[in-house]
Structure 1
Amino acid sequence: MRHSLFKVSLAAASLTASIGASAASTPAVAVAPQYDTSHVYVAPADVDPFVKSFLATFGGQSTPQVVVNVLPVPSSTTSQLLQTPVGTVSLFGFKTPIPHPFGDERSGYLVKDMDVAVKAARQAGASVIVSDFPDPIGRDAVVQWPGGVNMQLYWHSKVPQYTAFQAIPENRVYLSADSAGAFIKAFLAFSHGKVVSDDKTAPAVEIGQASGSYQRVRIESDFGKLTVLVTNGHLPYPYGHETTGYEVSDLNATLAKAQASGATVVVKPFSAAGRDAALVDFPGGYIAEIHQVTAKQ
C-alpha cells in the first residue's frame, strides 16, 4: 500500500512540476475564444434533429447547410456552423464513410497563420497527424497532443467576424496522471495560456464517482477555456464522452428546453465546487456537459 501511495504522490508531483515548467517560446497564433468550435459528427438522418434540439436549448442560429468535401481525400458531408451565445458547433453528417483520423478531433481552433501554427504546435510537443490541406474556405491541419488529444487547426482566407460569447465554453480533456503533465506543458506553450486553478482534491462526484477526489486543472488562453480532468480511468458512462462544457445562467431552464426538443438528461443535476452541472445526450449521440456557476471558482 505504501509503495502504491508513493507512486501516486510521484505522479502528482511530476504533473505539478510540468505545469510550472511551461514556456511560451512559440509565436502566439490564437485569434479569440469565439472561433473555438466543437466538432460534432452525426448520421445524416440525425443532422436536422440535432440542429433543432441544440439551438432550442442554447439559442443562436445555423449557417446554411451545404454538401461538400471538407477533407483532403474523397468524401461527402453535410456541413454547417451552429453559433450560440455559449458555444459554437461545426456539424458534419457524412454521406460517405469517414476517413481516418477524422471524427476523433474534438475541436477546431482558428489560427492567424497556418504555417506558423503548425510549426509552433510541433515545437510545443504536438504531432501533426494530418498535414495541412486546403478546404473550400481556407486551410486545415490536425494535431495530436501528448495523451492522444486530437485538435484541428484551421485558417480562413477571409477573416471571419463572430460575436463574442456570452459565456466561454470549456474544452474538457480526460487524461491519466501519466500523460496529463506532458499535455499541459505542451498546450500551455502553444496557447500562451495560464493555469487559473489546479485542484488536486476536486470532488470525484464531478466525474461520476461516489466518493474520493481527483485532480482538475483549468487553463485559459486566447483559444478559450480548457479543463484537464486527471482521473484513474474508472469512469461510469457517459463521463469522458463529453468534450465540451457549456455555461448557462439557469441550468434547470436549459435542461427543460433540451428535453422538450428531443435531448435526454443522462446525468441529473448535481452540485460540486461552485457549480450545478448535468450531462445531456443530444439527438445523434453528442454528449455535452452543461453547468451553472453558483460560486466563484
Structure 2
Amino acid sequence: MKRFTAILAALMVATTPIAAPAMAKPATTADYSVGPQYDTTHVYVPEGQFDAFVTSFVATFGGTVSKQGEFQVTPTPSLTRSQLALTPVGTVSAFGFKTPIPYPFGDERTGYLVSDMDAAVAAAVSHGAVRRITTFPDPIGRDVVVQWAGGVNMQLYWHTTKPSYPALTNVPENRIYLTADAADTFIHDWTGFAHGRIISDDHAASGEEIGQPGKTIRRIAIDSGYGKMTIFISDGQLPWPYGRDMTGYAVADLDATLAKASAAGVETLVAPKLVAGRHSAIIRFPGGYIAEVHSAAEQ
C-alpha cells in the first residue's frame, strides 16, 4: 500500500501543470511629440509649379510663408526649392526638386517634429516601425524616414534650433487608407508610439465617405501630440481621387473656402456633400496636391 501511494504521488507531481513564467510587458516609451503646429504635410510638386502651389495654398487657407530657398535636403546629392506654408489650419512643406528625387523621398506623407531624434527613432522601431533610411543630417537638423504597417511612410525630424510656430486654429487630420490586413497592427503600433487616444471607432460607417456608396467601412479617429489622424478601413477598391487625399483641413465655412480656392486656380474634384456630420469636398491644387476640406454640418 505504501508503495502504491508513493507511485501515485510521483505520478501526480509528474502530471501537474507547471505554471508558465509571467510574460514581461513591453516597456512603455516616452512621448516625443512637440505639437501639431509642427506637423507638416510633405508636398512634392513639379519645380515649374512650385510658386503657383504655394501661392494658391495660402490664398485658400490664409497664413504666411517662410523664406524660400534651394537646399540639399537628402543625404545623397540633390537640389530642391523648399518653403513652408504656415496656415491657421495646417502647415505644408513644399518641395520642387530641380534634380531627380533620390530614394526613398517623395513617398513620405508627413513630417513630425520630435523632441529627441535618437530616442524617438528607437521608440518607433520598438513599436513596429521600419527605417526606410537611417538618420541623416540636413541643413537645420536631423531627419529619418520610417514606415509603419500598411506602407504608411512618414518623416521624423529634429531642429538644431527649436522652431516656434503659432498654435493652429484648427488641427488638420492625417487621412490614412488601409485594408483590414494591416489596420489593427498599424493602430496598435501608432497609438503605442504616439501615445494616441482612440476618439471614435465606427465599424459601420458609410462607404459614401470614400466614394463607395452602398458599402460599409470602418472609420477610426485618433488624437495624439502629433495631431489628428483618421483611418479608413475598406476593401481598397477606391474610385479616384479617394486615397490620394493625404490631409483633411477643417475650416469655418466650406463654401467660402472653396470660393477662395477656385479664385486661386484650385480644382474641386469632389463637390461638397454631407458625410459623417460634416460638409466635405476634395480639391486639387496647382502642382497636383490633393486634399480634403470640411466644415461642421451646423454651419
Structure 2: gaps of 5 or more residues:
1-24
1:149 aligns with 2:152: yes
CA-to-aligned-CA distance 1:246-272 (integer Å, 9 cap, x gap): 000000000011011001000000101
8 A contact 1:23–1:189 mirrored in 2? no
8 A contact 2:83–2:94 mirrored in 1? yes
8 A contact 2:124–2:193 mirrored in 1? yes
Of 158, 163, 184, which residue of structure 2 is paired with 1:160? 163
Structure 1: gaps of 5 or more residues:
1-21
Give the aligned partner of residue 230 of structure 2: 227
SS at structure 2 position matched to 1:291: strand
Alpha-carbon distance between aligned partners in 1 of 2:102 and 2:257, rounded to the nearest angstrom: 35
8 A contact 1:191–1:223 mirrored in 2? yes
Give the aligned partner of residue 143 of structure 2: 140
Give the aligned partner of residue 5 of structure 1: none
1:52 aligns with 2:28: no
Alpha-carbon distance between aligned partners in 1 of 2:123 and 2:207, rounded to the nearest angstrom: 35
SS at structure 2 position matched to 1:234: coil
CA-to-aligned-CA distance 1:190-230 (integer Å, 9 cap, x gap): 00011000011111111011222200000000000011110
CA RMSD between the two structures = 1.4
8 A contact 1:68–1:77 mirrored in 2? yes
SS at structure 2 position matched to 1:206: helix
8 A contact 2:34–2:225 mirrored in 1? yes
Alpha-carbon distance between aligned partners in 2 of 1:26 and 1:161, rounded to the nearest angstrom: 25
Matches for 1:1-297 after TM superposition, within 5 Å: 25-294=28-297
Match of 1:70, as an amino acid? V
8 A contact 1:23–1:188 mirrored in 2? no
Alpha-carbon distance between aligned partners in 2 of 1:268 and 1:166, rounded to the nearest angstrom: 24
8 A contact 1:201–1:215 mirrored in 2? yes
8 A contact 1:75–1:97 mirrored in 2? yes
8 A contact 1:24–1:190 mirrored in 2? no
Alpha-carbon distance between aligned partners in 2 of 1:248 and 1:203, rounded to the nearest angstrom: 22
Q: Which has the larger radius of gyration?
A: 2
8 A contact 2:89–2:250 mirrored in 1? yes
Instruction: Point out which structure has higher relative CO (alpha carbons under 8 A, 6+ apart).
Output: 1
Alpha-carbon distance between aligned partners in 2 of 1:175 and 1:210, rounded to the nearest angstrom: 18
**Change over 3 Å in CA distance of 1:24–1:205 after alignment to 2:** farther
Alpha-carbon distance between aligned partners in 1 of 2:277 and 2:178, rounded to the nearest angstrom: 23
8 A contact 2:206–2:213 mirrored in 1? no
**Change over 3 Å in CA distance of 1:185–1:257 after alignment to 2:** same
Please report how far the alpha carbon of residue 23 of structure 1 lies from its aligned counterpart in structure 2 after TM superposition: 7.6
Please report how far the alpha carbon of residue 24 of structure 1 lies from its aligned counterpart in structure 2 after TM superposition: 7.7
Calculate the TM-score normalised by the size of structure 1: 0.91
Match of 2:122, as an amino acid? K
Number of matched pairs: 275
Match of 1:156, as an amino acid? H
Alpha-carbon distance between aligned partners in 2 of 1:44 and 1:116, rounded to the nearest angstrom: 35
Alpha-carbon distance between aligned partners in 2 of 1:136 and 1:124, rounded to the nearest angstrom: 29
8 A contact 2:33–2:114 mirrored in 1? yes
Give the aligned partner of residue 8 of structure 1: none
SS at structure 2 position matched to 1:54: helix
Please report how far the alpha carbon of residue 26 of structure 1 lies from its aligned counterpart in structure 2 after TM superposition: 1.0
Alpha-carbon distance between aligned partners in 1 of 2:27 and 2:284, rounded to the nearest angstrom: 37
